[in-house]
Amino acid sequence: MGCTTGANRQEVQSAGGECPRYVGNTRICCGAEDEIVGVNCVPEVEEGGVYGECVAQGELIEGKVLGAACCEGLSAIENSSLNENDECVPLGPPSVQVCAACGDGKCQSGENKCNCPADCG
């Protein structure tokens, strides 16, 4: 049993779970006395969050979506492109990025010389 909302700390620990538990810098709620859901912890969500699965090459990912992740071998890079003045500009808020295999030597969907010069420069 992992840390889940509503479980008490003793139940989680006796079942071999870790409480508190972190995913990156995000604390997952597990029933500890000091927790306030939405303030200092978030409820555990299924992998993929509202996307339901990992996000593929060239697809956008919202960094604020709990549980959202790029598919294996991909990472979230800046969603940017060249404008008419040949300048790199963001294509949305900073929390919206694109999943890509930047650094694999191939300029693929979602990559360009702005956000992946290693592959597209």
- Compute CA distances 90 → 12, 78, 118, whole Å: 43, 7, 18
Pair 30, 21: CB distance under 8 Å: yes
CA torsion sign for 35, 38, 41, 46 is positive
pTM above 0.75, yes or no: no
Taking only the tens place, the pLDDT of each residue in 69-103 is 899 999 999 999 999 999 999 999 999 999 999 99
Q: How many residues does the chain have?
A: 121
DSSP-assigned states of every residue in 36-62: -BTTTBB----TTGGGSSPBPTT-EEE
* pLDDT surpassing 60 at residue 63: yes
